[in-house]
Amino acid sequence: METSTLATYHCLAFAWYFFVAYSITHVRAEERPSEVFLYGGQWKYLTVLNLVLQAVFYGVSFLADVLRLIKKLRCAKCVISSRDLLFSVLAFPVSTFVCVSFWTLYTYNRELVYPKSLDGVIPLWLNHAMHTAVLPFALLEILALPHRYPAKRKGLILLGFVAFLYISWVLWIYSETGEWVYPLFALFSPPGLAAFFAGSLAIIISFYNFGEFLNRMIWGQSE
């Protein structure tokens, strides 16, 4: 894509994610079911954190495009490095994980991840904006321009560290409230839950590798 076209696309994507994140974080308190949005608010849900992540990524991408357009190439190079790191390590694998895991569990038993009581609070369009549209956006980003992936070890360490932080946040909330972020977790024994988290990490790592594979197949090996 031309830089001007990329700038327009990234600006619109940023505005979209900002709007979606704003919409979910401003669900009226009196409409919220008693079992959700308590300790930690919306910030305990990976879906909502992913919306913020995507907004940050597209904001950084738009800034990189603007810097290229105004010929600030030295600054642009630094911002592009941050953009590529954000996309490769977090934006693509997390979006893919959110979409695939949510709809897999929703199809199996929606009460485990998205209780029916939420239907009266969160509109259908917002549900799909949070859980469905994130994957097409991520794939479109790969098609739009090449991204430089970090060394495999560095990328996986960063991804694993972020996953560890989120799991720690989930466990902290449980220790404070006695309630799990997702009802699904209550089905597991402690060893079973550890295995579930390990399996989820393996899946998100596979999505990291898949994104790297797509990037290489479409754009060639990064130098």
Could you say which DSSP state residue 37 is in? S
Question: Does position 53 have pLDDT exceeding 60, yes or no?
Answer: yes
- Give the single-character DSSP code of 207: H
Report DSSP state, residue 91.
Answer: I
Q: Kindly tell me if the per-residue pLDDT of 223 is higher than 50.
A: no
Q: Which residues of 35-50 are buried (b: 16+ CB within 10 A; e: fewer)?
A: ebbeeeebebbbbbbb
- How many CA atoms lie less than 13 Å away from 206 in the CB half-sphere? 9
Position 33 pLDDT exceeds 80: no
Proportion of the chain above pLDDT 90, given as a percent: 74
Task: State how far Cα 10 lies from the chain centre.
Answer: 16
What pLDDT, on the 0 to 100 scale, is given for residue 22?
A: 92
pLDDT per residue over 164-222, tens digit each? 999 999 999 999 888 899 989 999 999 999 999 999 999 999 999 999 999 999 998 65
Q: What distance separates the 2 farthest-apart alpha carbons in the chain?
A: 57
When pLDDT is cut at 50, 70 and 90, the band that residue 27 belongs to is: confident
For the chain, what is the radius of gyration of the CA atoms?
18
To the nearest whole number, what is the mean pLDDT of the chain? 90
Name the DSSP class of 1: -
Count CB atoms within 10 A of the CB of residue 57: 27
pLDDT tops 80 at residue 36: no
Tokens of 113: 């991840």
Structure tokens at 26: 């401003």
Q: Which helix (H) or strand (E) holds 194?
A: helix 190-219
Q: Count of CB atoms within 10 A of residue 193's CB? A: 19
CB neighbours of residue 158 within 10 Å: 16
pLDDT of 56: 97
pLDDT at 41: 76
Q: Which of 18-27, 47-56, 71-80 ranks highest by mean pLDDT?
A: 47-56
Predicted local distance difference test score (pLDDT) of residue 222: 54
The band of 119, judged by pLDDT with boundaries at 50, 70 and 90, is confident
**Does the pTM exceed 0.85?**
yes
Instruction: Give me the pLDDT at residue 173, please.
Output: 92
The larger pLDDT score, comparing residue 185 to residue 41, is at 185
Could you tell me if 136 and 98 are in contact, meaning their C-beta atoms sit under 8 angstroms apart? no
More confident residue, 27 or 31: 27
Note whether 149 and 212 are within 8 A (CB).
yes
**26 three-class SS:** coil
DSSP states of 107-136: HHHGGGTS-GGGGGTS-HHHHHHHHTTHHH
Average pLDDT over residues 113-136: 92
Tokens of 146: 């090449």
In angstroms, the CA 135 to CA 95 distance is 6
Of 7-16, 39-48, 186-195, which gets the smallest average pLDDT?
39-48
pLDDT at 34 over 80: no
